[in-house]
Amino acid sequence: MSLTDQTKMARQLASAQIISALRLRAEGVLIPLGALVAGFIAFSIFLVLLGKSPFEFFSLVWKGGFSSAFSWQNTLSRVAPLVFAALCVALPARLGLVVIGGEGAIVLGGLAAAVAGTALGGLPAVLGMPLMALAGMVLGGLWIGAIGALRIKRGVNETISSLLMAYIAIALFNHFVEGPFRDPASLNKPSTAPLADSLRVGDMPFIAAHWGVLAGVIACILCWVLIDRTTVGFAARIAGDNVRAAQIQGLPVAKLVIGFTALGGAFAGLAGYFEVAAVHGSANASLIAGYGYTGILVAFLARHNPLAILPVAILLGGIEASGGLIQRRMELPDATILVFEGMVFIIILLSEALYGKLGIFKTNAGGTR
């Protein structure tokens, strides 16, 4: 083979590799976007069957979630818990695990933060607030990390165990809030003792949103670096693709599974901290808001990419922020938004079968076409 032929073959191979990478990236954007549009269409048909206008619905979503500074405030107040809940799903997903119990880690993390805040009320904010956040993260990490341990040590399916443990966590939360940790002054709505003003998280300057939003942005960036730019993330991706191959290569699969699930749970617990310290001021039933379940949709729509989680969380946060307006204007029940999210989630799951089958930038042995 001549030097010219070798050079030509090398160029063809490089071109094929580039186009293959572009195809994968294009699919990672186009398929979730198409699934979202398909969800919009399916829900529009649902509204038509109810005798309601899809155009009015989506215009109210825009008005309630994105059209004004007040709308953005409502949207951004939901972004932080959605981001952290989505990370609780996305991190274990890199190891091939489907963990859907982030709601439990959120409520227990919020409870731990509230109890710690009551005990640390005399400390200055520079010490008290980090300790509250740490309490929430530790309990959330232990709770979800236990799911990874059950998977590794006993072979328990993580999807089922995480869902069951979410219900257990909510039951424990209600028990402690209505029992041992209840503030006697909370009559109609059982709550823990209110946090001292010095331990409350305020809003960022120039933005009507609390500091949890910025923490969520930083968390997404750090998780992206961990997964895509470190040897630990590389090992996790190998284990997610083929556990047997990872074990043969000597990778610490057990430590990776427990570590990534615990880290995801820690982020969910941090969401609980911000909900208590920035929004509610105490742990009460308002903490059980379903962010852990919506976070599943965020993670899947973002393809478990930490950098894509943030814009998806903003989109779904705006949709949820418009729920009250839609209920009043269109006389639809609260569950309407849940129906919409459920339709989108089902279509996203169905769209998984399309990856690698769209024929976008496909390559063959002779080059590209």
Domains and CATH numbers, the chain: 65-311 (1.10.3470)
CA-based nearest residue to 78, from 344, 291, 341:
291
Q: Is the pLDDT of residue 366 over 50?
A: no
The pLDDT score that the predictor gives to residue 120 is 85
**pLDDT tens-digit readout, 128-174:** 999 999 999 999 999 999 999 999 999 999 999 999 999 999 999 99
- Neighbouring-strand partners of residue 284: 191
Residue 175: which residues within 8 A CB-CB, separation 6 or more? none
Averaged pLDDT for residues 326-346: 91
Q: Helices in 50-95 by DSSP H: which ranges?
A: 54-65, 69-93
The three-class DSSP label of residue 210 is strand
Torsion of CA 216, 220, 226, 229, to 10 degrees: -140
Averaged pLDDT for residues 271-296: 95
Q: And the tokens for 59?
A: 């215009």
The string of DSSP letters for 314-348 reads HHHHHHHHTHHHHHHHH---THHHHHHHHHHHHHH
Averaged pLDDT for residues 307-320: 94
Give the number of other CB atoms < 10 A from CB of residue 187.
Answer: 8
Q: Is 165 exposed, middle or buried (0-12, 13-18, 19+ CB in 10 A)?
A: buried
CA-based nearest residue to 81, from 322, 300, 287, 348:
287
The confidence band for 13, taking pLDDT boundaries of 50, 70 and 90, is: low
The confidence band for 18, taking pLDDT boundaries of 50, 70 and 90, is: low
Stated pTM of the model: 0.88
Between 338 and 2, where is the model more confident? 338
The pLDDT score that the predictor gives to residue 207 is 81
The pLDDT score that the predictor gives to residue 23 is 64
Q: How far apart are the C-alpha atoms of 289 and 79, rounded to whole Å?
A: 13
Q: How far apart are the C-alpha atoms of 28 and 309, rounded to whole Å?
A: 13
CA-based nearest residue to 57, from 73, 43, 71:
43
Crossing angle, helix 335-351 and helix 323-330, to 10 degrees?
120
Strand (E) or helix (H) holding 186:
none
The confidence band for 351, taking pLDDT boundaries of 50, 70 and 90, is: confident
Q: Helices in 67-157 by DSSP H: which ranges?
A: 69-93, 102-119, 125-154
The confidence band for 5, taking pLDDT boundaries of 50, 70 and 90, is: low
Q: How far apart are the C-alpha atoms of 354 and 210, rounded to whole Å?
A: 39
Residue 302: which residues within 8 A CB-CB, separation 6 or more? 32, 86, 90, 308, 309, 312
CA-based nearest residue to 309, from 87, 40, 61, 97:
87
The confidence band for 266, taking pLDDT boundaries of 50, 70 and 90, is: very high
Q: Is the pLDDT of residue 17 over 80?
A: no
Output the average pLDDT for the chain.
89
Q: How far apart are the C-alpha atoms of 124 and 110, rounded to whole Å?
A: 20
Q: How far apart are the C-alpha atoms of 248 and 238, rounded to whole Å?
A: 11
Q: Is the pLDDT of residue 358 over 80?
A: no
The confidence band for 28, taking pLDDT boundaries of 50, 70 and 90, is: confident
Q: And the tokens for 256?
A: 């990776």
